[in-house]
Amino acid sequence: MDLRFTIQTKIQKPLEVVFQAVYDPKHLSGYFTTGGASGPLVAGSKVIWKFADFSSMEGEDEGVVVNVVEVIPNSKIVLEWDAHEGSYEGENELLTVGGYKTKTEMIFESLDQNNTLVKITESGWKVSQAALDGSYMNCQGWMNMSCCLKAYLEYGINLRKGFFELIPYCVCLRTRLKTFKEYLSCPASF
């Protein structure tokens, strides 16, 4: 069994503009990597993606290492990164590194002069409930990324700003909160 998912988003901008918004760290940081990206997505390179909206989560302060496997300008970007398994659904649950990598393939297809289809497929998940849960989290993340990309390019806004502010995670204690009452009592939550 090959666990994989694919999302797609139509963006009302030319192919070259959409591709550059993913490839170029200045653009990527404007709607997705809220803590910055260490460099462009050049084949054979390793880049660090930082997410300021998750900076207090275990292991995220250093950023996420992204291995750039393949780049075909205005057509395809292939990435590999550590698989994270689990979910945030249960008490004290945090994603854990699964000990293997998943592959993410982004396909950019021109529909006409002003419309581009972006397809993102992530594959390589192990067959387990924890891996399946992790894939759901990443599917949600890639869908969020593609919607933020669309808003950024079509309307010039950062849709991600404030998007994750209500995640019940205490910055002060560096721990996941069990109840909404605990969240309200954390001074850093506001």
For 119-147, write each residue's pLDDT tens digit. Answer: 999 999 999 988 888 899 899 999 999 99
Does the reported pTM lie above 0.85?
Answer: no
> What is the share, in percent, of the chain residues with pLDDT greater than 90?
59
Among residues 183, 96, 163, 171, the alpha carbon closest in space to that of 133 is found at: 96
pLDDT digits (tens, 9 = 90+) for 66-124: 999 999 999 999 999 999 887 655 544 455 677 899 999 999 999 999 999 999 999 99
With respect to CATH, is domain 3-189 assigned 3.60.21.10?
no
